[in-house]
Structure 1
Amino acid sequence: WLNPGASVTLSCEVKPSSAGWRFYWYKAVPDFSTNYYRYDPLPGSISGTVENSFRIDGQKHTAGFTCRAGKGNPEYLTDYSEPKFVWTSDPHPAASLSVSPDREQHFTSESVTLNCGGNSAEWRVKRFRDGFINCSDSWEMTGSSCTINSNLSFKSVFWCESGSGEFSDAVNISVHGLLLVSPVHPVTEGASVTLSCRLRGETKLSDVIFYHNDKLIQNDSRGELKISAVSQSDEGFYKCEHSGEVSPQSWMAVKGGVFNALILLNDYFAFVCFVYYHCHK
C-alpha cells in the first residue's frame, strides 16, 4: 500500500523494444456506459514524453493508470496498456469494500457478500483473474453488493468502483476446503491479530501447523497463532496445515510503515505499464 502524498513513477515499455517512441500517459476512470474504463490524459502529458517514465507527485488516492506509445510521421500509436492500479492506505477513502464473512478465505458453496460503500449512486464490483471482469458476470449484483457462491476453488482480487470515479482498496478472496482465517484488510502496526485454521463444520481445530513465508513458525496443540503487537516483520504470506492438508496461503499486509505490499493485477503484456514508488515520511 502506498502512503498518501507519496510520489509515483509510471514506466512504459514497448516490446520488442526499439528507439524513437514517444510516450503518452493516462488516468483510468470507470466508465459504466462501456463497462470498462475511459482514459483521460494526465496533466502535463498531452504532448507525450520522450522518456519512457512519468512522475506523479502527491498521489493521495487509489487510482488506475495506463500508457501508450507513438512513433513516425504520421504517428503510429500502439494500443493502450492494461490499467495498473496504485492502492493507497488512505485512512478516509471515498469508497470502501467490506466482506462478509470478514476474512480472506472462504469455503466452497459458502455465500460471501462484497459490499461497496460511499457517496455514489452507482457501483460495480470488479474482479481480476486472468483479466478484468465484473463480479456480476459470474454472480448476482444487487445494488451496491455482489454475492459470491462457488462450488469450485479459486482465488481472485476484488475491489469497488463508483460511477463518479472512486476506487476502494483491493482485497484477495479465495475459496477452498481447508481455510486459514486471516484479516481481509491490512492490519495496523502495533495491533493484535489471531490467525486460525478451519474445516467446514469444525469451529476450531487443534494440532495445527502455521507457516510464515513458507517457514514453520508454530507447531503445537493451540490451534491459533496469536501476534500481540504486529510489526512490519510480520507482513507476508501465511498458511496452515492440519492432518496433512494445507490451506492456500494468504498475504497479511501491515500498514504504518513507509512502504507496504501492492496487489499487482497484471504482469504480462506485449505493451506493459510498470509502476514504481517514491515514498515520503
Structure 2
Amino acid sequence: MVVGLISNNDDSAYREEVNQLVVWCDKNNLSLNVNKTKEITVDFRRKHMRLYREHPDQQPPSVVWQLHRRRPVVPPESEKPKPTVRVDPQSSVYTGDTVTLICEVESTGWEFLWYKNSQLLQPQNPADKNTNTISVTVSDAGTAEFRCRAHRGDYSTQDSDPVKITVRERPKATVKIQPADHVFIGETVTLTCDIDSGGYWWYHWYKGENVFSYSQRRKKYTISKVAQSHSGVYTCEGTQSANPRYSQTSDAVTLTVSEKPKPTVRVDPQSSVYTGATVTLICEVESTGWEFLWYKNSQPLRPQNPADKDTNTIRVTVSDEGTAEFRCRARRGNYQYYDDYYKKYVYGYHTKFSGPAIITIGESGGGWQYEWFKNNTPIKAAPGTNKYNISSVAQSHNGVYTCNGTQSTDPRYSQTSDAVTLTVSEKPKPELTSSHKGAALIGNPVVLYCRLDQSAGWKFYWFKHSQNPENEIKTETHSYTISSVSVSDGGQYWCRAGRGDPVYYTHYSDALWMNTTEVRASFSVLCLLSCLMAASPYVLVTIVLVVKFYRAQDASAQSLTEGRVPARRRNVHEQRGDESTRELQPLIEPVLRRPLLKSAPNSHSGKTALLSLMSTW
C-alpha cells in the first residue's frame, strides 16, 4: 500500500515508488503476475478533483474509488539480453584464493546483481556494485555456482548461465617437535615442518611473529644443545612455484625449555612391607618419551617384567628382611650426549638421579586369617589357619587348590596363591629288586631297590625274614645297601614306603629271596695254575717216550716181515736204542729227582689223580 505519494495531482513520486517495487521484486527473485496486477487509487479528501475523469461534467462523490486495469508493457523474456560470466583465474582454485567474476552484457548503464548458489551475493567492495566485476575470496572447499543479472530502471536482463568453481582445500603445514615440546637444557631438539601435499616446497619458519632465519628454508631444523633462549612459539608455512603456490600457516606449537629434571620415586604400598610382598615403584618425571633406569642399593635393577622397561613403573618382589634403597633415572634420545655426572659421553640424554626411596622389609606379619579354595570355590570346612588337613583322603578330594590371607593391619590382604593340583590315586605297591642276579657271593656288596612310580616325599622301610615293623630299617632314599654279604644276610626281604604325619604307608612289595654262597673262585684258579706248571715237564717226557715206543714197535714189525736180521744190523738197532735212551737221560733224571707235588687240602680229586699219574713215570 502506497500512501500520500500523490500531491497536487502530481503522481511522479508514486510512479517512482512502483518502479522501485518492480526492481526489488527482481532482486528478490519475485515475479509480478501482470495479468492479475491491479492498481487501486483511493482519495480520502473531502474536496478533491477527479484524477481520471471519464466525463468532464460529472461531479465527484465525497470518496472516489477508481479501479484501473493496467498492463505494463514488458518485452518477451527470450528477447532480453543474457549476460555471460567470466572467471579469473580459470586454473585450480584453493581455499583462501580470491576469484574475480566478470558479468559481460551488451550496452552500458547497467547495475549488476550477483548470486552464489541461488543466494544474493553482496560485493566485498561497495564500489563493485555499479561495475560488472566482483571479487570473491573462497573459504570453503567444494563446488560453488555463480550467476549474474543486469538491470537499469525497471528493466532487467535474463540470468546468466551458472559458472561452477571447484575449490580445493589448501594444504596446511604442521609443526612437530622431537623428542617432546617440553625439553631440558642440553637436549637435542628437532623441529619438523610437514605439508601433506606433493611438490617441492620451500619452508619458512617463524618464532613468534619474527622470521626464524636460521632454518634456511629446510624442512627440519635441529638445535643440538637447546637453551632456555630457544623457548617460544613456533610456526611454519611453505611456498612453491606451482599451484598451490603457498600453504596455510601451521598451528602454533610452544617449545618449553627447563633445567635438567630430577625424578621422584613413589612407592605403593607406602606402609611397611613383608618378605614375599610385591612392591610397585613409580618414577615420576616431567615431559614424555622417557626410558627408565632403576637401581637397588646403587646396583642396576632389571625389571622382572620386560614390558616395564618402557614404562615408569617397576614391580619388585622383596625376599630379604632389612632395608632396601631404590632410585631411578630417565633417558631419551638416540644420540651421544656428554653427561656431567659420569664425566663422559653416554647414549641418550639422562636426567638426574631421583632421591632414594627406602623400604623397610619385615617378616611376614602375624594374625593372618586364611581362606582355602577348591576349584575357585571356598572350602567351608577348612579352618582359618595356614594348614588344611584331610585326615583320610579320597578320590573326591581331587582338584585345584588355592589360598589367600587377610589381617587387620597392613598388608591387609595377600595375593591369592598359585594353584596346586591334588591328584588322589589308589594305594601304590612298590617293586623290590636287587642289583645282583642269582646268588649273592659272601663278602660282596648287594644293593636292594624299592621302586615307586609316585610323587616325591616318600621314606622307605625295609623288612627281613618277616613283615614285623619292630625290625624295620628306614632309609631316606629308595635304595638299601648291604656292604659285605654274610651267610646270615640270606633270606626273604620286603619293602614299603611312607610319608606324612601321621605316616601313610603303601602296600608291601612282593617278597625277594636272596641266596648266599662262599667265595672260592680266586683260590681254585691259583691252585689250578700251579698244578699245570708243576706237571708240564712230566707231560713232555710222557709224549717223548710214547713217540719212541711207537718207533721201536715199527722196527720190530719190520724185522719179522723181512726174516732174520743179521747180528750186525741188530746190534746197530740196539745201539741206536741205547743212544736214544742216553739222549733222553738228561731230560728224565731232573724230573725223577724232583719231589712229588702234594695235593692241597682243598684241591679237587681230579688234581690228585694227575699227580699220581706223574709219579708212575
TM-score of the superposed pair, with normalisation by structure 2: 0.15
Higher helix share: 2
Higher strand share: 1
TM-score of the superposed pair, with normalisation by structure 1: 0.30
Structure number with greater CO (CA < 8 Å, separation at least 6) is: 1
Which has more radius of gyration? Answer: 2
